[in-house]
């Protein structure tokens, strides 16, 4: 090979390697996208197949063709689910995306009710027949795990006063009720749905981004492990709710470790 042909062959080899790398990256992206699409489809089938037998009842068949009846059926399902939560001796949560409210309840009594400033849902909810969601939430579901930007328990350490002067001063001091930390929390329901509650106020710095990263880190790790094993990864449809920070803080602190949750989506 002549000296002039050597650089030409080298450039040709570099182009071939670049094409191979680009093709490999495109194949990986296409594969990951396909698996992500399949994850949504498999999750949709799993959620709906669980209630197929019940949806054969007359009341649900009628709801497919009668909008007014469907709305009434959804409201009755909400009431039925709330009645079922009466058996719980701890706080539970009712989310009504029609009325745009979220309520902390104790044995059927709404002890803290908040107007939702904004809500968003995964596309799976709008792409699925609404009658399925009516049937699903005609009973409460348990949130078996959660993650939050704040601690569930708060401990207050106070030193005993040295004399009566300090006692009187501590009695007059007002407690600091300001929120020093942004509040976001996620509840994962046993039916495979995630409820994300965010403060509606703008968080200082990168608080929201840090929370998103921490919450999605494990999900991304599971997704990568699944596609490496040629398995369809899991998919969690989400409901995002924005409310005032102080209300979000109150609700999260009051909920037990495994709260009951009911919802109305349609």
Q: What's the angle, vertex CA 232, arms to CA 192 and CA 137, rounded to 5?
A: 20
pTM of the model: 0.73
Tokens 């649900």 correspond to: 60
Residue 5 has a pLDDT of: 60
Q: Please write the tens of the pLDDT for every residue from 203-261.
A: 766 777 777 777 776 667 666 776 677 766 777 889 999 999 999 999 999 999 899 99
On whether residue 200 sits in a domain, the answer given is yes
Number of domains in the chain: 1
The residue that leads in pLDDT, 170 or 231, is: 231
On whether residue 139 sits in a domain, the answer given is yes
- Mean pLDDT over 35-60 rounds to 74
On whether residue 176 sits in a domain, the answer given is no
Residue 170 scores a pLDDT above 70:
no
On whether residue 97 sits in a domain, the answer given is yes
On whether residue 132 sits in a domain, the answer given is yes
On whether residue 86 sits in a domain, the answer given is yes
- Mean pLDDT over 66-80 rounds to 91
Tokens 């002890």 correspond to: 111
On whether residue 146 sits in a domain, the answer given is yes
Across 136-145, 176-185, 256-265, least confident range? 176-185
Average pLDDT over the chain, rounded to an integer: 79
The residue that leads in pLDDT, 244 or 36, is: 244
Q: Which domain holds residue 255?
A: 5-171+181-264
On whether residue 194 sits in a domain, the answer given is yes
Whole-angstrom CA distances from 229 to 78, 184, 233 are: 41, 33, 10
């Amino acid at each position: 090979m002549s000296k002039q042909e050597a650089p030409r062959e080298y450039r040709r080899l570099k182009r071939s390697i670049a094409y191979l790398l680009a093709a490999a990256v495109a194949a990986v992206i296409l594969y990951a996208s396909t698996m992500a699409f399949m994850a949504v489809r498999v999750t949709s089938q799993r959620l709906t197949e669980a209630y197929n037998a019940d949806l054969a009842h007359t009341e649900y068949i009628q709801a497919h063709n009668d909008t007014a009846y469907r709305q009434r059926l959804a409201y009755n399902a909400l009431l039925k689910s709330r009645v079922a939560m009466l058996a719980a001796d701890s706080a539970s949560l009712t989310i009504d995306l029609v009325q745009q409210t979220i309520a902390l309840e104790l044995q059927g009594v709404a002890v803290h009710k908040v107007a939702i400033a904004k809500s968003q849902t995964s596309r799976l909810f709008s792409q699925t027949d609404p009658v399925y969601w009516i049937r699903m939430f005609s009973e409460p579901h348990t949130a078996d795990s959660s993650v939050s930007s704040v601690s569930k328990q708060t401990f207050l350490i106070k030193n005993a006063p040295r004399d009566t002067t300090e006692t009187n001063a501590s009695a007059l001091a007002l407690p600091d009720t300001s929120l020093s930390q942004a509040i976001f929390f996620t509840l994962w329901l046993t039916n495979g749905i995630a409820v994300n509650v965010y403060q509606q106020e703008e968080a200082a710095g990168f608080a929201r981004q840090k929370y998103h990263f921490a919450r999605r880190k494990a999900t991304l790790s599971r997704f990568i492990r699944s596609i490496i094993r040629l398995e369809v990864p899991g998919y969690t449809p989400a409901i995002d709710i924005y409310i005032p920070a102080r209300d979000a803080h109150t609700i999260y602190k009051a909920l037990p470790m495994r709260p009951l949750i009911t919802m109305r989506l349609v």
